[in-house]
Structures are given as C-alpha cells and as structure tokens.
Amino acid sequence: MKADLIVTNARVLTMDEAKPRAEAVALAGGKILAVGSRAEIEALAGEGTRVIDGKGRTLLPGFVESHLHLVMGGAELAHLQLSGVYGAEALSHAFRSYAAKHPDQPLLMAQGADYGMFGGRPITRHDLDAVIADRPIAMTAYDHHTVWANTAALEAAGLLHGRDLPEGHVVVMGPDGLATGELQEFEAFAPVQDLGGELRLYLAIAKGAEPDPWPSAAERAIDKAKIANGLAHCAAQGITSMVNMDGNRYTLELLREMRDEGRLTARVKVPFHFKPEMDLSELDRAEAMTRDFDDEWLQSGFVKMFMDGVMDSGTAWRLDDYPGQPGHRSVPLFEPERFKDIATEIDRRGLQIAVHAIGDAAVRSTIDGYEAAQLRNGRSDRRNRIEHIELIDRADVPRLGQLGIVASLQPSHPAGAMDFPLEPSIHKVGRSRWKDSFLVKSLVEAGAPLAYASDWPVTDVSVLRNLKAALTRKPYEGADDERVDLMTALRAYTAGGAWAAHREHVTGRLVPGLAGDLVLLGGNIEAVAPDEIDRLGIALTVCGGRITHEALAA
C-alpha cells in the first residue's frame, strides 16, 4: 500500500514505549501506515503521495486536550475579551468600543475579567452602570464561575431582587435588598446569558438539561458555526482530540451533523452532566448517550459532576478556614454520603466519572466516593478522574495512585504560572497551604495517571503555552518544585490524555493502525529552552489523515 501523506526528516516522538523515536511517518486511509526511518517511509511514496519535509522539527501524536469547553469557547471568541484590562477607565473604553460595533446586540458580554480589576475591592453593578447604564452588559470572571452584571442586565434577567437557587449558586444581595451584581456559579448567571440568546449552549453545564423546544435548523446552523470556529482555533494549536466538558445530547447531535457534513476536525468526547437535584434515574440519559455515540470520532461514556466552586470566589470547599474568614470553608454541592451512592451507581452502570474538585475537602470527598464505588462494585478499569485538584491534603496524595484515579490538571491554572495573577488567588489559598496547592510531581510520583489540559476558554487553549507553564512555573515560598520533565508533560498531552479518555486504542501514539493524528511543531522542542517553547508554533496539524491546520512556511 502506498501512502497518502508522508512527513519525513523529522524528530518523531511516538509516545510508543516499544519504539519511542523515528524519523518519518506515513499515513494512508486516515490511519498510520508506518513509522520508521526516512528510507523505510519514503519508499512508501506513490504518484499521489504528498511528502512533507519536517526539516528536523518535532513530530508528535496529535495533542489530546483533556478538559475544555468547546461550545462555550467557540461562542466566546466573538465576545469582548478583558484579559489585562484593569480600572474603570480601561473597562469603560473596552466596553464602549465593543458596544459601538454591536449596536443591536441584546447583551454585551465580556470574558476574562479579573477579580482584582478594581484594586481588590468587590465589583458591583454600580461599577458596570458607570460604564454603560442603558444597555444590559455583563462580564465573566476568568475562571467562568462568577459573572458581574449591570442593573439593566439584572432587571432584564429578573435577578435584581434575588432568586432562590440550588445550594452553591448565589445571587449576592446587598444591604439595600437588591442584587449587588455578583452572580456566583452557573444557575445564578444563566438568566443573564439567556439575554444574549446563547443559553442553549450553556444548558448542559448549568442544568444538565437539553434545549426545549429542540432548536430549529437555522438555530443549529448558528450553533454549528460557533463550534466550527472553536474547532479551527483548537486545530491551530495542534489539537486533534478533546474531552469537552460542557456538553449534552444536543452537543453530540450538532457534532454528528458536522461530522456528516465533513466539518468535524477533531475527535470529541462529551459527558452527561449530573446535577445535585437529579434523581439517579436520570442516569438512563447518560446510558442512552453512551449507546448512541461510540465511534472513533464521537463518544460519551462518562458523567461529569461539580463537587464545589472555585477558590477566588470562596466557593471551593476546604478542610480548613479561608484566610481571614473564620468559620468559612464553603459547602459541597453533593453531600458526601449521597455522592458515594451516586458514584457507586454510575460505576455500576459501567460509566466513567469526572468530578470538578478544587478545594481539599472536595478532593477528599471525591476520592472517598470513588473508593466506595470500588468497595461496593469491585475494582474495574473505569479510570475515574478528578478535574483541577488545586488544593489537596497530603494524606490524600497517595490515594489517587492506589485507587487508579486520573489527575486531570491544567498547567495554566496555578496563579502566576501563565495568565492568572498571583492575587487574589494565593491570598485565598493562604500561605500555610501553598505547599499543598497545584501539586503535579507529587501526584505523579504517587502513581496517579496524569492528563493535561487548558480548561479553555477559562485559559488559553495553546498547548505550547501550557507546556511552557508546566515547565517554568516557579514554586511558591516554602513549597516544593512541582514541575515535571518535558517528556512527562508531552505524554500528558498525548498518550496520557488518550488513555484517560479510554481512547488509547484510537489515538495518542504514533503506531501503525492507530488514527492518522499528527502535530508537527515549528522546531525541535527538545533543543529549545523551556521558556521559549511557546515561540515554536504549530506548523502542521493532521486529524484522521486530513490536514486541519497548515503553517509550514512559518
């Protein structure tokens, strides 16, 4: 058989322990045909074969993004971006310029707002009223767990006088009996998002629900265009597979339509969201999604849950008090004994579990639930995951390895590592707990399988920037160096991510018979200093044998 595509004269890192390095790779029929020396692979060229000279650059399996929000990210590419914007004057200029370009938009939505935008004091609706008062405007915190809205947006969303919400979701109220403008967690700010006509894209993560009524063909076309923008953005970062954490059946149906239209440029895994108010019978929906979507491009097979919120808003659930807030530790979204029962039932149904857990109490409760499921059902190859693990009690570190729990971590999340500022995050953690925050090396050494991701659009989806953050992050005072080496980091973005998603039989390694998913970097990643990695760029992305991004001249 002759190859369709050959990349030769490259430094190939296969992520295959049996054959870790090579010089060239050949693809045919969307699969890897052969991996080997230049002479071996170039001999497979035929009349119609495209041969690409790698010029000594690093060639890897296509990157596996283990935790992102594709639909949200695609939609938010069109929103106002506030990263690096501080103070009233800069905020006013940004919003008013954006408003002038979108005179008919029902909601002016911004992303990436810093909790310390106004010098560390709480942000209120009055701050946003001073920016624009006669149109609804809102801005989302960089962690996507808090939204601030002006009075017009609060009135239009029916939130100005507050609203009863599930535990952990809060419309913050002021002494005047009116909402301050701060909305904590998804169900609190979903009514504001609805003003912009995008609520159906957030329904899964907010409520675990499906659109009702089902969107029309015209509405689906709008949503697919936003997904296509997100996919193209990810392809430019070398991403060929992703675990999408904001999905539902509607997401899968949109992706299936795109696949049938030839517009799907990455392999996507999508969860069922289980919410605290749900009955266990709702897991029938998860099983149906798993049954109906299970091929090399689209897959479900897992349940996503939130155990707590985030540190900056004080909604992460801790074992100790927040610094300067005696008695405040936040609360779990799932009561521990109930979570054990839920985890056991999900496990019994043969589904994987992924839990967002930021605080150390949330992490411990999640571990306890996974352990209970194993004790009741017997150990199996579920590869249950904990997403983020920003704070963990040292006594719980070895338990991840012992129980086979995947550490799904984001190199960009530690304050100061990439885009997140040191304050207020490290203050919220507290100096005495810096040694227990954002552990990576300690978890790996304890045997926890590692998968890396960005959590885009919470942070930049760029794999190279995240790799740089993983390798250059400075330890906090009194804390150990938690960095891992380059090969460990690359594996977490390739073979490790594929394994964590039960996709190692499809992708993640350059092995004959696996998917033709490749990324050619703009240089030799092993020859550049860690703080220069992000400058390499992505020269070529190939998914299923199809070129999805090309910048070979760069």
pLDDT attached to residue 206: 87
Q: Quick one: which H or E segment has residue 211?
A: none
The answer to whether the CB of 193 falls within 8 A of the CB of 199 is: yes
pLDDT attached to residue 39: 98
Strand, coil or helix: what is 543?
Answer: strand
What are the DSSP calls for 380-393, one per residue? -S---EEEE--B--
Closest CA to 107 of 78, 144, 70: 78
Q: How many helices (H) and strands (E) does the chain have?
A: 18, 26
Angle at 276 (CA atoms; ends 251, 363), nearest 5 degrees: 95
Q: Which residues of 220-249 are buried (b: 16+ CB within 10 A; e: fewer)?
A: beebbebbbbbbbbbbbbbbbbbbbbbbbb
pLDDT (tens place) for every residue of the chain, 554 residues total: 999 999 999 999 999 999 999 999 999 999 999 999 999 999 999 999 999 999 999 999 999 999 999 999 999 999 999 999 999 999 999 999 999 999 999 999 999 999 999 988 999 999 999 999 999 999 999 999 999 999 999 999 999 999 999 888 999 999 999 999 999 998 999 999 999 988 898 899 889 999 999 999 999 999 999 999 999 999 999 999 999 998 899 999 999 999 999 999 999 999 999 999 999 999 999 999 999 999 999 999 999 999 999 999 999 999 999 999 999 999 999 999 999 999 999 999 999 999 999 999 999 999 999 999 999 999 999 999 999 999 999 999 999 999 999 999 999 999 999 999 898 899 999 999 999 999 999 999 999 999 999 999 999 999 999 999 999 999 999 999 999 999 999 999 999 999 999 999 999 999 999 999 999 999 999 999 999 999 999 999 999 999 999 999 74
Strand order through the sheet with 352-357:
272-273, 302-306, 352-357, 385-388, 406-409, 450-452
CB-based contacts of 300, cutoff 8 Å, min separation 6? 252, 269, 270, 271, 272, 286, 289, 290, 292, 293, 294
3-class DSSP string for 402-424: HHCCEEEECCCCCCCCCCCCCCC
Q: What share of the chain is helix, strand, coil (3-state, %, to 5)?
A: 35, 20, 45
Tell me how far CA of residue 409 lies from CA of 22, 230, 234, 498, in angstroms. Answer: 29, 21, 18, 14
For residue 536 the two structure tokens come to: 């390499």
The answer to whether the CB of 171 falls within 8 A of the CB of 183 is: yes
* Positive or negative: CA dihedral 299, 301, 303, 304: negative
Closest CA to 331 of 184, 431, 175: 184
Note if the bond before 457 is cis, omega within 30 degrees: yes
| Entry pTM | 0.94
pLDDT attached to residue 120: 85
pLDDT attached to residue 216: 97
Closest CA to 316 of 137, 438, 408, 232: 438
Whole-angstrom distance, CA of residue 144 vs CA of residue 131: 21
Residue owning tokens 């959590």: 455
- Please give the biggest Cα pair distance in the chain: 78
Strand, coil or helix: what is 67?
Answer: strand
3-class DSSP string for 310-340: CCCCCCCCCCCCECCECCCCCCCCCCHHHHH
pLDDT attached to residue 168: 86
Whole-angstrom distance, CA of residue 508 vs CA of residue 518: 9
